[in-house]
Amino acid sequence: MSIWDAWIGREELRTDRIDNGLAARWLATFDREAPTDGNVPQGLHWCLCVPDAATAQLGPDGHPVRDDSLASFLPPIALPRRMWASSKVDFFAPLHMGEAVTRTSRVLSITEKSGGSGQLVFVDVAHETFGEAGIAVHEVQSIVYREAAAVGADLSPPKSALGAVDLEGWSSHRMLTPSEPMLFRFSALTFNSHRIHYDLPYAQDEERYRGLVVHGPLTATLLLDLARREFGDNALAHFSYRGLSPAICGEALHLVMRGSGNEIEMAAFAGDGRQVTAATAQRK
């Protein structure tokens, strides 16, 4: 029996609406034109039904405080550092501009592990996003909680000895540099107050990152956009990604893709050759 058993199966229901303002701000963040068919692009679901805790209910890292009450959807794991580790997303149908949206969330599992970086706790959460015609997106998201960084620890991630990105074998490539305005806008779109994305002294002094950290779902959205550039809007049936190393604001980020038929491999690399994200996708 685990101390977290009371949270397994705990559910949460949220509602939202895809309005023109939200869509316009999302498109502006990624320098994109709006689709002409009235559908919204894949990835915008991460900006819907977002947590809306009051400012007074935020913890030192900017995330909502968790406790052992029935009102706390996520468990009060004492480990202070939180990261979005991975997601597995199934796209069943496009979401449409102006429609009402409902999202049901359920805690699937809570797993404690011990590794080279210390104690870890993984929380898997299933999200089902429904449009007015039925389910549109199913996602299993894995959140990892980690121990506090040691005082005076070296800033991470360390520079890779590789020195450069090896692009051989990748059929599609896009390079961009995530900027402070892009991170700020994505935090605003997702109502994400995690300070590692906008508070440089906190990111460096408290969590010992080399700089501001690019959101995992921001990198994932950029990979979805790479697929869109190749195959068109809403072309994927499935998308899975896993964070391997933090991407740092102001440093080059290389997005790559390859594959034949419906099976696609994708990745993101830092400019020093370090792999940031591993991903796979399936076309419809």
- pLDDT for the residue numbered 71: 76
| The CA-based dihedral angle spanning residues 101, 44, 171, 276, taken in that order and rounded to the nearest 10 degrees | -120
In this prediction, residues 129-139 reach a mean pLDDT of 97
- pLDDT for the residue numbered 70: 75
In this prediction, residues 249-253 reach a mean pLDDT of 97
Instruction: With beta carbons less than 8 A apart as the criterion, state whether 143 and 85 touch.
Output: yes
Query: What is the Cα–Cα distance from 15 to 2, expressed in whole angstroms?
Result: 31
- pLDDT for the residue numbered 1: 56
Instruction: Decide: residue 273, CB within 10 A, 0-12 exposed, 13-18 middle, 19+ buried.
Output: middle
CA distances from 51 to 129, 188, 191 (A): 14, 12, 7
- pLDDT for the residue numbered 271: 92
Predicted model pTM: 0.95
Q: For residue 56, what is the DSSP state?
A: G
CA distances from 25 to 45, 182, 188, 255 (A): 14, 11, 10, 23
Query: What is the Cα–Cα distance from 277 to 275, expressed in whole angstroms?
Result: 6
Q: Given a cut of 90, is residue 116 above it in pLDDT?
A: no
Dump pLDDT digits (tens) for 198-245: 999 999 999 999 999 999 999 999 999 999 999 999 999 999 999 999
Q: Which residues pair with 188 in a beta bridge?
A: none
Query: What is the Cα–Cα distance from 69 to 76, expressed in whole angstroms?
Result: 9
Instruction: With beta carbons less than 8 A apart as the criterion, state whether 268 and 281 touch.
Output: no
Dump pLDDT digits (tens) for 26-63: 999 999 988 889 899 999 999 999 988 899 999 889 88
Q: Given a cut of 60, is residue 72 above it in pLDDT?
A: yes
